[in-house]
Amino acid sequence: MYLKYLLVAVMSIVSAQSVFAQTYQIEPGHTYPSFEADHLGISFWRGKFLKTSGKVVLDRAAKTGSVEITIDASSIDFGHTKMNEHARGKDMFNVEKFPTVTYKSTALQFDGDKLASVEGEMTMLGVTKPMKLTISRFKCIMHPMLKREVCGADAHANFDRSDFGLNYGLPRFAPEVKLDIQVEAIKAD
């Protein structure tokens, strides 16, 4: 009998905690993962991806949640048509075989009420590696035009592209990549 009451109590606590989790859909018109990478040691090429989707689940009271982001690799844009075409090809992103780049969180860390970092895994070119995103800015507001809560963040990471098999131009082009993600997400109904 005691076990029955204990089970009911535990289920009530779990259900109560999940009530506070809110789901936010990535807003593709305000979310652009961008990057910079070495170009022969003489400059940095900067680019971004134009098509991103996903969701963020936040339980700010329990300081938990999850992040899932999918990037359309064919939407890469350097602002240079020939470079875009080359980046989509087999030498680099091979978008025909690997149409997406994904990021899935494994843990969220908060500093007080603010999201401070996200531990997770990025999958690119069929290779999955751990990646920590540092959050430099995080804020949720009632959006004045949408009349719904919107959360936004600026996330940053550095990684070695050769870890994912993106070896084009090595060693002439350094393998280090700086990743910046501006993201906005709208609370789901």
111-142 per-position pLDDT tens digit: 998 899 999 999 999 999 999 999 999 999 99
Q: Using one digit for the tens of pLDDT, what is the confidence trace for 168-187? A: 999 888 999 999 999 999 99
Q: What pLDDT, on a 0 to 100 scale, did the predictor assign at position 40?
A: 86
Beta strands in the chain (DSSP E): 22-26, 32-39, 43-49, 52-59, 64-72, 76-77, 100-111, 114-124, 127-142, 149-160, 176-187
| Residue-range domains of the chain with CATH | 22-155+180-187 (2.40.128.110)
Per-residue confidence in pLDDT tens, the chain, 189 aa: 544 444 444 444 444 445 689 999 999 999 999 999 988 889 999 999 999 999 999 998 999 999 999 999 999 999 999 999 999 999 999 999 999 999 999 999 999 988 999 999 999 999 999 999 999 999 999 999 989 999 999 999 999 999 999 999 998 889 999 999 999 999 998
The three-point CA angle 76-129-48 to 5° equals: 15
Extract the tokens encoding 106: 């494994």
